[in-house]
Amino acid sequence: MIKTISIKNVRGIDNKSLNVDLSPNKPSILIAPNGFGKSSIARAFDSMNRDRIKLDEEDFHLNLASNTPEVKLEWRNESTIETLTANENQNEISSCFDYFVISSNIRAKGIGRTFGGRTQVSASIVADPIILYDTVPTRTASPYSFANAKVQCSWLSKAVINLSLYLGKDLFCSKIVAQDIILLLKKTSQTRQIEGIANFRTRVESAFTPLNKAQILSHIETNELAALSSISHIATLARFFRNFEDVEEQYKDSHSFVCAIQLSEMFRSNPDALEQYCERRAYEFDKSRLIDLFDSFNSSWQTFTPKETNGSLVIEFPKLHHISNGQRDSLNFIASLEKAKRKLKKTNSILIIDEVFDYMDEANIVSAQYYITKLIDEYALASKHIYPIILTHLSAELFSGFVFSNKKTPQVRYLNETTCLVSEQFKKLLRERGEKTSILKQPIENKLLHFNTAGISLRSEFRQAGLKETWGESGVFRSYTSAEMTKYLDESQSSPFDPAAVCCELRVKIEELAFGKIESPDSRAKFIDVCISGTNEKLEYCESIGIEIPEHFYLLGLIYNEALHWKDNDGFERKIISRLKNLTIRRMIKMIFQQGYHI
């Protein structure tokens, strides 16, 4: 579990410590408003190489190279908690974690042209190519020869199996690379492994008289499986072979052990040759898969396929005006994810996805979540831990309705630490408003949570219902919401505020401003007494009688309307707070209270 992530002196972050408590092999959604520093977090990880942090000049905090960058991870490693540090001199994180950052590859590109001695520069938006394979493996011939194997393993007599049945297949070679079988083969050269094979050989040579293949495999099946299973790495290699259908079912275990011993013997005679051969066959298999994958995602008329360029496998994006933004972002995400899979090799890996989802349509979001889910499954199957961390300013609900909710429940964390809380008294008020049978439902809704020229005086009723008694007086209640709004607008004080009270004051203020534009007494009465179902209806009524309503009055309804229909979960409260702390939202609200009816 990753407990905290701390960043110092990277771009807009001077010093932040994030309490995240992230479990592995589950998607993690880290939500914060624009301006918080989400891209600075991504940049900090992207700037770490194996040995240290190496920031570009423009990425130092305040553009000062004297501001030394630092990244710290506090994580629970089995039963102990460790703190790993990366800075300009060291990188302890890389000893335990691989990490990869997926972000937008869109940038502006300037093109200069000279006419009559004068240079004109025009700009265009381009998507940088993504290198899927840094180096294309060299094509090599198979190092395996059945004739040589029969000589090398002559002591197995007629039981020697032609491994070309396996090594001739791209899928088999791909599995050798993907499942670190080369590393396993290296371990079969350890002394105990060699001694175990030598002892097995001695027993075989003393036991066998001229027998056919079936008799030899039957003998091994009956007499040798326990001993062979004790040769740990050979036993693991045999299990690898058993996953392939070419293994004879009647003598599946003995067949697999004979294959494992043969491959081990061949590898020791020429280890580099087998590794190079398998890497190339695996590359061919993966290249074919990637071509099909990107072809299935490409709905434009432009060619979009991986190509070998200067010794690398690269995917280049068509000109951006030839494809939609959603398709561009989706293709970028899939290509980057494929690259990440080749970079994240350690038992523990961190994948940071920086706001890639924020501009995708629903179909592309479903696809992206599906591929993240598949990635998690692959790592879990290999007994590895991956932490997919999605940085976003979007609501968590955008993700919970798709693939994640069915297969992997996301861990949602709000990064903007806050002491702001909805007061318990306000929660009680909103719950009472939600009770259909409550005699206080209508007074609360119409006289407190909406603008109304008539007040209420229901102290005893509020007391009997367990509500704050003084709020039974509408003037006292409005004084509370007004005071909380003052706290919210005064950023210099950083005072905690009641977000529900702020939303209530915002809604009442918008209705009050709209009401103030109505001149006819009859229309004013209708605004108060008839249009009681919601603020939107009141604003639409104003427009129907010729009053122009500022657009942001409607837009802010996304903030205040939901907040005043209370849901008892922590995520709901944090979502409201996060929205209120959005810089654009705060500016719009401030404009309403400072400039009034400004259009």
112: in domain:
no
582 in the same domain as 505: yes
HSE, side-chain direction, 13 A CA sphere, residue 340: 25
pLDDT in tens, 264-293: 988 988 889 999 999 999 999 999 988 888
Average pLDDT, the chain: 85
Total of domains in the chain = 3
Same domain assignment for residues 409 and 429: no
Same domain, 438 and 565: yes
CA diameter of the chain: 114
Tell me, yes or no, whether 238 and 162 share the same domain.
yes
Most confident of 126-140, 437-451, 518-532: 437-451
Any domain includes 177: yes
What is the predicted pLDDT for the residue at 247?
Answer: 55
For residue 323, how many C-alpha atoms fall within 13 Å in the half-sphere facing its CB? 24
Q: Decide: helix, strand or coil at residue 583.
A: helix
Residue 74 has φ and ψ, to the nearest 5°, of: -105, 120
Both 333 and 263 in one domain: the answer is no
Quote the tokens at residue 466: 């367990």
The pLDDT score that the predictor gives to residue 109 is 59
Q: Which of 414, 442, 471 is the C-terminal boundary of a domain? A: 414
251 and 178 in a common domain? yes
* Domain's final residue, options 385, 414, 443: 414
pLDDT tens, position by position, 32-60: 877 788 899 999 999 999 999 999 989 99
Asked, for residue 300, whether it belongs to a domain, the answer is no
pLDDT band at 245 (very low <50, low <70, confident <90, very high): low
Per-residue pLDDT band at 122 (split at 50, 70, 90) = low
Count the neighbouring beta carbons within 10 Å of the beta carbon of residue 499: 27
Q: Stretch 129-146: mean pLDDT, rounded?
A: 90
Compute the residue count for the chain.
599
At 69 the three-state DSSP class reads: coil
pLDDT at position 219, please? 83
Higher pLDDT, 259 or 248: 259
Strands (E), 355-408: 385-392
260 in the same domain as 183: yes
How many angstroms separate the CA atoms of 306 and 285, rounded? 13
- Residue 131 counted as domain residue: no
Residue-by-residue DSSP string for 400-463: HTSHHHHH---EEEE-S-------HHHHHHHHHHH-TT-TTHHHIIIIISS--SS--B-HHHHH
Question: Tokens 């996060």 sit at which residue?
Answer: 578
* Nearest Cα to Cα of residue 176 among 142, 200, 146: 142
Decide if 316 is inside a domain: no
Residue 336 domain boundaries: 2-105+322-414
- Any idea which of 39-53, 201-215, 224-238 has the lowest mean pLDDT? 201-215
What is the C-alpha to C-alpha distance for residues 165 and 154, in angstroms, rounded to an integer?
19
Shared domain check, 432 and 392? no
User: In terms of domains, do 484 and 578 share one?
Assistant: yes
Residue 304 located in a structural domain: no
Out of 414, 434, 468, a domain closes at 414
What is the structure's pLDDT at 200? 87
Quickly state the pLDDT bin for 319 (edges 50, 70, 90): low
CATH number of the domain where residue 339 is located: 3.40.50
Residue type, 432: E
- Same domain flag for 586 and 460: yes
In three-state secondary structure terms, 137 is coil
Examine residue 310 and state whether it is found in any structural domain, yes or no: no
Q: How many helices (H) and strands (E) does the chain have?
A: 27, 14
Q: List Cβ neighbours of 437 (8 Å cut-off, separation of 6 or more).
A: none
> Which residues does residue 349 pair with via DSSP β-bridges, in sequence order?
98, 386
Q: How far is CA 80 from CA 75, 90, 471, in A?
A: 8, 22, 51
Q: 439 and 410 in one domain?
A: no
pLDDT of residue 452: 92
- In a domain, residue 587? The reply is yes
Q: Which of 507, 497, 483, 498 is nearest to 562 (CA)?
A: 507
DSSP state of 16: E
Q: Of residues 404 and 285, which shows the higher confidence score?
A: 285
Q: Are residues 449 and 579 in the same domain?
A: yes
Cα distance between residue 422 and residue 502, in whole Å: 10
Tell me the average pLDDT across 176-194.
Answer: 90
